[in-house]
Every structure is written in C-alpha cells, then in structure tokens.
Chain A
Amino acid sequence: MIANLPFIAIALLIGIAFAIILLKKNMIKMVMGIGIMESAVNLFLITIGYREEGIAPIFTSAPEGSVMVLPTVQALTLTNIVIGVAATALMISMIMIIYKKYGTINSDKMRRLKE
C-alpha cells in the first residue's frame, strides 16, 4: 500500500489538473493546471525509477552489490522540467498579449476564431 502511495498521488494530481484545465475559464489558471500536470508526470517518472534502498547512480566508488536508482528517468525529468519552463513562459507571454489586445483572459471571451 505504502509503495503505491506515489501512484495514487500521481492519479490525483492528473485528475486535478484535468479538472482545472477543463473547468476553469481563466487562462492563467489553465496554465497552472498544465503546470500541475507536468509535475504529476515528473513525479511519475521519478517514481518508476525508484528502487528500495537504492543509492545515487554513481558507478565510481559504489559499494559492491548495492542497488542504484535508475538514472535515465532522472535525466528525463530534468529535460521535461526545462521543456515545461519554455512552454509555460511562452503560454504566459501569449496570455499577456491577449490581455493587452482583448482586455480579458477569459477563454470564453477569447473566441474570435471559431466555426
């Protein structure tokens, strides 16, 4: 049970993120929802790389027969954090322009492109 706790947290976080993205009309909140989803995915990646009693994956001077956590997923998480920062920054700056031009950040009002 306790080992599954991170996965329950991930499911909850993704659920919350989708609820925010689908229900909130405020664009800033939507971006926050995407941020939560990103964190959930990062948490997921870190969790699948975790090993009981694992040590940091540094091969030089590692004790004999020790278990290491998986390094690949940590690299993936770092990459995803960087990508997430870029995506969030771009989205926020676009919302700024939308606010300047449309006077609103409500996604209901932001619909000059439709049909």
Chain B
Amino acid sequence: MIGDLITGYGFWNPLIWIIVMATGLLFAWLIWRCGESGYDKGTEQTKPYLSGNDEPPKSDVHIRGGNMYWGFTHALKGYYDKLIPLHSGVVNDYLTWFVIGVIVIFVVVMVI
C-alpha cells in the first residue's frame, strides 16, 4: 500500500494514522457540539477563581524552566553528582577523555 514503511517487524503508515486521528477528532468535535454553550467572553466567568483571593501578578504565576523536573534530578542525585562535575569546562580534561578513549578502545579491540 502507498505510504507503508516496512520496519522489519511490521509497518508504519502515516496516512492511516492521520485518518484515524482525524476520525477521532471528528468524534471529539461531535461530542463537544452536543454540549451547552454558556461561555461569555469578557465577563467575570473567565477570570481565575482562587478561593476568593486576589490573582497574583502574571510573572509569579508562570512556572519557570528551572523549577521543572526538580524531582527527577533530585531522585537521581547520586548519578548527577558524579556526571555533572565531569563536564568541568577545562579543555585539558576534554583531551584527557580523548586519550582515555583511544587507549580503552585500542585495548578492547586488541584483546577481543
């Protein structure tokens, strides 16, 4: 069939995928249409409701990039504590890794 990408085990056809997704979206749209439209722009309704408190300034609401995946890096602290210092920024270390790589690969290739 046109668009079949044979991957060894099966195939991937983006056209079928798009047709399926489009059908799904069509159903979603049909269901959405059945809903009741009670949304009015520019009224009290659209304002965020935070238990009656005032809305904080916009710059405080946004979650900054540095705060994301804090948990992930914290959970892998042992790994990151070892990994990050390796990227020391000293160009001598970079070349040391090159020499180590040459020696290790050479030994591996010669021994095996």
Query: Are A and B direct contacts in the complex by CB distance below 8 Å?
Result: yes
Interface string of B40-53 (1 = CB under 8 A from A): 00000000000000
Partner of A23, one of B84, B87, B88, B92: B92
Give the distance in Å from the alpha carbon of A22 to the alpha carbon of B100 in the complex.
11
Nearest neighbor of B85 in chain A, beta-carbon distance: A115
Q: A101 interface residue, CB < 8 Å from B?
A: no
Nearest neighbor of A114 in chain B, beta-carbon distance: B89
The answer to whether A115 and B99 touch across the interface, beta carbons within 8 angstroms, is: no
Q: A13 interface residue, CB < 8 Å from B?
A: no
Q: A52 interface residue, CB < 8 Å from B?
A: no
**A23 to chain B: which residues have CB within 8 Å?**
92
The answer to whether B92 and A22 touch across the interface, beta carbons within 8 angstroms, is: yes
Q: A107 interface residue, CB < 8 Å from B?
A: yes
Give the distance in Å from the alpha carbon of A25 to the alpha carbon of B89 in the complex.
12
Q: A44 interface residue, CB < 8 Å from B?
A: no
Chain B nearest CB from A66 CB (Å) reads 40
The answer to whether B99 and A113 touch across the interface, beta carbons within 8 angstroms, is: no
Chain A nearest CB from B4 CB (Å) reads 45
Q: A100 interface residue, CB < 8 Å from B?
A: no
Give the distance in Å from the alpha carbon of A15 to the alpha carbon of B89 in the complex.
24
**B31 to chain A: which residues have CB within 8 Å?**
none
User: Which residues of A come within 8 Å of B, CB atoms?
Assistant: 18, 21-25, 30, 107-108, 110-115
